[in-house]
Amino acid sequence: MRLSIKIPVLIFLGCLAAGGLGSVFLAAGLASEVRRSFESRSAGLVRSLGAMGASLLSAQPPDHVALQKALDNLEEFGHGKAHGIEWMAFVDCAGRVQAHTDPRRFATRLHELPADWLRCEKDAPSAPETGEDGLTGIKYSGAHLLVAAPVRLETRSGTIAASFRLDEVGVHEAAGRRRVFFFTAGFAAVLAVLLSLLLRSAVARRLTRLTEDTEALRRGELERRSGVHGGDEVGRLASAFNAMADRLSKHAQYLEQEVRLRTRELESANRELQRLATTDPLTGLLNRRRMNEVLEQALEHHRRKQRQLSVVMIDLDHFKRFNDTHGHLAGDELLRVLGLRLRTRSRAGDSAARLGTEPPASRSGSFPRGSLESSPDGVVEDRDAAAARYGGEEFVLILPETSKADALRVAERVRAAVAAAPLVEALGESGRVTLSAGVATFPEDGNDQDALLRAADEALYAAKHAGRDRVVAAPAAPPAHARPSATPAGTPAGGGT
């Protein structure tokens, strides 16, 4: 049940309970007042009839007939007017009936009347005292009210007594209780409505707004704040809600910043992992596994487009002797600088070259080398070309949409640039090296990756055999002391040649 309904219901029930308790006290007071009024009317009636009966009984001789007739008329009058008279009698000081509403009771003893209520002037010490209301006694006996008053005669004294039924009292009490009930019920209802409106404005409406704010916060509206104010419990609850919402909002912002930071770190780590997985750590060129993937994709593309694609296989001449002479650090520097010269600048979006654009950091060691900034740009001008380290001192250039003649010019430019000046400047002329290259073109020299690389390797071997420091195109007739079998794709030619 909603609080806006529960509060008025509870208020109404509380007011009704309070009204019911109040009606009990009001009904008791009203019943007491009804009984006092009934006693007063009954006493007045007894005193009035006592005066009339005294005059009749004091006559000489006493007029009992007239008194009896008066009582008979009084009984009829009493019933008709709802006075509730059950019986009325005059008795002498001995308690004998002188007149009675029931004529059969004449001269009998009236046992209903207590003996101490009898009035006898001859026995003055034992005569009963009368109250301020002139009665000798009044009491309730079951469902009846018994009233007695002294009767003063000229020669003797007596008592008039009457019994009244309480039916009229019960009727008045029931009517009073009904009036009290309806009054208290109406008052409770009006009070409940007024209090409900007051509390609805002061409490329920504010609690409803606070509940709506809480639901909004639960839905994720972290910027939601409560507009409920005040110094009471509801106002303090709203202040606590706003403080909690502020802390949640700050914590959420902190978490968002942490997520963004961790996401950037993860993306950077993924890029680094991708670079490490696809590039050669020494030269920064494509590694052999990635080269195989790039070449396979390029061959498939050129096969569909029916275009030519050339491969240049490069090998440093006498690299083993260079290593033995200058040390392995110098050999690594030589490979690194050559890789830098072979790097290409590809168009954005070209996956092959994009994976091999950044050179790695320089190797640490005691061997001096020229600065990276002083190195010339890569000598391969084809922006779609991709360079890879094939293994050891062997490198591969993939030249898309390039004829054999163009590929020979590219290879020759590379060879001439390497031979023109020492790659490792710190060694001077002793660091000068040369290279040999073999060129093969798809589809004339091979229709798949293995065949194409095998043709380029055989052309490279022919260049080596012809005296090194030269470029040879496939197909080249192998010399008499040629390799016994072609080097399959995925296996580099022997080092140190």
Residues with a catalytic annotation lie at: 393
Question: Which residues, in sequence order, are CB contacts of 172 under 8 Å at separation 6+?
Answer: 34, 38
Handedness of CA 268, 272, 275, 277 (dihedral sign): negative
Do 405 and 351 contact (CB within 8 A), yes or no?
Answer: no
Dihedrals phi, psi of 237, to nearest 5 degrees? -65, -40
Question: Exposed/middle/buried for 100, CB within 10 Å: 0-12, 13-18, 19+?
Answer: buried
Q: Residue 238's closest CA among 271, 277, 273, 203?
A: 203
Question: Which residues, in sequence order, are CB contacts of 341 under 8 Å at separation 6+?
Answer: 375, 376, 378, 379, 414, 417, 418, 423
Do 315 and 460 contact (CB within 8 A), yes or no?
Answer: yes
Instruction: Compute the distance between CA of residue 201 and CA of residue 209 in angstroms, rounded to an integer.
Output: 11
Question: Which residues, in sequence order, are CB contacts of 479 under 8 Å at separation 6+?
Answer: 462, 465
| Token pair for 183 | 């009054």
Dihedrals phi, psi of 103, to nearest 5 degrees? -55, -20
